[in-house]
Structure 1
Amino acid sequence: MLENSKFINQVSIDCVIFGFEENELKVLIPKINFSGDFYALPSGFIYQEEDIENAAKRILEERTGLKEIYMEQFKVFGKANRKRQEFMDELISKNYIDNIEEVKKNPGYAWFTNRFISIGYYALVNIKDVKPRLSAIDQSFQWYNIDQAPELIMDHPEVLKEALKALREDIDTKFNVFHLLPEKFTMREVQDAYETIFEKEFVRTNFQKKILSMDVLERLEKKFTGAKNKAPYLYRLKSE
């Protein structure tokens, strides 16, 4: 039973997994494997003897198949009224219509519907590297444009909003945008990612000077495409 389990009671981790493809910022969202349209951010619990950061890495690996993944803890969600009861009651009413009261007597119901404090992490991935894995409660996984995400359960819309805010705040100090791109990329691809994340355009020459002044990129060979225009240089993050 969950209340006597090896997980820490009333603490969870919510993950926002961002990807970038075709000049669109996307988020990976599973649909819960129950009747009804229930969509939730990838989440999980923390083992009693597990570090919080290791728990986040485990949850992300279980959902993406990636062992090495860029992630940042961005906020703790702990409002006094942060409970799962409304969501759980709706889920139960649509899936256990013949024995609703019996299900609610299960100790697991009390465990899930108590107040939970959740630690938010966002992760940045190259979409082509991700091989989504369904958990026991997932029906499907899908990448959604950040502006077209389905309605999420509980306060997950707020978690997603805060993750995007943190991504924008971190971008120039933690140089995280490069984790959305392939290992080798052009300056144009970097600018496309910036413009998509901030939803505005940047002057090319000024932008390039800004990025190069960070001194975190290694310039490689040119990217020849066969087109008549000048071939752009490829870049990659410098090795630490």
Structure 2
Amino acid sequence: MDQDLKAYFAKTLAEVSIDCVIFGFHAGELKVLLLRWKETDGWSLPGGRIFKEESLNAAAVRILQERTGLTEIFLHQYYTFGDTNRNTHFTEMELLERLEGFFGKGIFDELLHNRVVSVGYFALVEFALVQATPDWFTDECRWWNIADVPNLLFDHNDMITSALQALRQQIRNQPIGYDLLPEKFTMPELQKLYETILDKQFDRRNFQKLLMSYDILEKLDEKRVGVANKSPFLYRFDKQKYEKAIHSGISFSM
């Protein structure tokens, strides 16, 4: 019986990690934060292991704070990735060749062959406030346009695709923008955010009418200056009403 039990645990042993898709919005484009591993050209999502006395959410918050410098972040757990082979674009040998320069073949070879299940989170952050910081394993932490993301290590391209799908689903049922836009913004900027995420164009008047019907926006007695066309009014979210709409839900359908 003892041998059977040992064999059972040997078969079921797996590590758990967290990987984060951090979305930012800048210059009319949706961006994602990526890390370049030390002494390589291999890119991946920010992530890490969970401390023994740490919850999943606490670990995700810690990882995001370390990479962005932000303490208040919109965070959503959206999927768990647990395929037995999670090397989408590179074989194990290619991964070893890319990463063993820093880690050493023996060390990384052992890490690579451990079974790892990753819990995926996506985060929404205001681009201008982020202080992008690499971790101990990486040399660079940089924003990439969604359309320009290269072939990433492991299955991280699939993680971004799934996170974007989850974000698009959420935007149809909850307000989006508080964590991605500056405090004051124009209606065209808010519309561009929705159009970029959903990859769809909207009629200007219908969009404004729908967003104002949620009663989460406050129109200010200020206008955006220094623009080529007629100066548009600035808006901001009413935080209390915004948070209430998140909990009660909305129906975004255009």
CA distance in 1, matches of 2:129, 2:65: 12
Asked whether the 8 Å contact 2:65–2:71 carries over to 1, the reply is yes
Tell me the alpha carbon deviations over residues 132-161 of structure 1, each in whole angstroms, 9 at most, x when there is no partner.
112111111221110101210111110010
> Does residue 58 of structure 2 align to residue 54 of structure 1?
yes
The range that moved more, 72-81 or 153-162, is: 72-81
Partner of 2:179: 179
Partner of 2:4: none
Runs of 4+ in 1 over 6 A off after TM superposition: none
Which amino acid counterpart does residue 23 of structure 1 have in structure 2?
G
Asked whether the 8 Å contact 1:82–1:115 carries over to 2, the reply is no
Asked whether the 8 Å contact 2:19–2:46 carries over to 1, the reply is yes
Question: Deviation at 1:178?
Answer: 3.0
Question: Deviation at 1:119?
Answer: 0.7
Asked whether the 8 Å contact 1:171–1:177 carries over to 2, the reply is no
The 3-state SS of whatever aligns with 2:178 is: helix
Which amino acid counterpart does residue 213 of structure 1 have in structure 2?
S
Residue 226 and residue 51 in structure 1: after superposition, are their counterparts in 2 closer, same or farther (change >3 A)?
closer
Asked whether the 8 Å contact 1:32–1:137 carries over to 2, the reply is yes
Q: Identity of counterpart residues, as a percentage? A: 43
CA distance in 2, matches of 1:131, 1:161: 24
Asked whether the 8 Å contact 2:218–2:237 carries over to 1, the reply is yes
Residue pairs, 1:91-240, within 5 angstroms: 91-94=95-98, 96=100, 103-104=105-106, 106=107, 109-225=109-225, 230-240=230-240
Partner of 2:31: 26
Tell me the alpha carbon deviations over residues 7-62 of structure 1, each in whole angstroms, 9 at most, x when there is no partner.
x9610111011111111111111111133x21100011111111111110100010
Residue 224 and residue 129 in structure 1: after superposition, are their counterparts in 2 closer, same or farther (change >3 A)?
closer
The range that moved more, 42-51 or 75-84, is: 75-84
Which of residues 67, 73, 77 in structure 2 aligns to 1:73? 77
Which amino acid counterpart does residue 197 of structure 2 have in structure 1?
I
CA distance in 2, matches of 1:96, 1:168: 37
5+ residue gaps, structure 2: 1-12, 241-254
The 3-state SS of whatever aligns with 2:19 is: strand
The 3-state SS of whatever aligns with 1:180 is: coil
The 3-state SS of whatever aligns with 1:191 is: helix
CA distance in 1, matches of 2:143, 2:163: 16
Which of residues 41, 44, 48 in structure 2 aligns to 1:40? 44
Q: TM-score, normalised by structure 1?
A: 0.84
Which amino acid counterpart does residue 178 of structure 2 have in structure 1?
F
Question: Deviation at 1:80?
Answer: 3.2
CA distance in 2, matches of 1:137, 1:79: 24
Question: Deviation at 1:65?
Answer: 0.7
Question: Deviation at 1:87?
Answer: 6.2
Question: Deviation at 1:193?
Answer: 0.7
Asked whether the 8 Å contact 1:15–1:121 carries over to 2, the reply is yes
The 3-state SS of whatever aligns with 2:50 is: strand
Taking only aligned residues, the RMSD between alpha carbons, in angstroms, comes to 2.6
The 3-state SS of whatever aligns with 1:47 is: coil
CA distance in 2, matches of 1:228, 1:110: 58
Aligned length, in residue pairs:
226
CA distance in 2, matches of 1:55, 1:45: 8
CA distance in 1, matches of 2:84, 2:121: 21
Tell me the alpha carbon deviations over residues 54-87 of structure 1, each in whole angstroms, 9 at most, x when there is no partner.
1101000100111111111111111233479x76
Which amino acid counterpart does residue 54 of structure 2 have in structure 1?
E
Asked whether the 8 Å contact 1:83–1:113 carries over to 2, the reply is no
The range that moved more, 150-159 or 194-203, is: 194-203
Which amino acid counterpart does residue 69 of structure 1 have in structure 2?
I
Asked whether the 8 Å contact 2:42–2:98 carries over to 1, the reply is no
Question: Deviation at 1:184?
Answer: 1.1
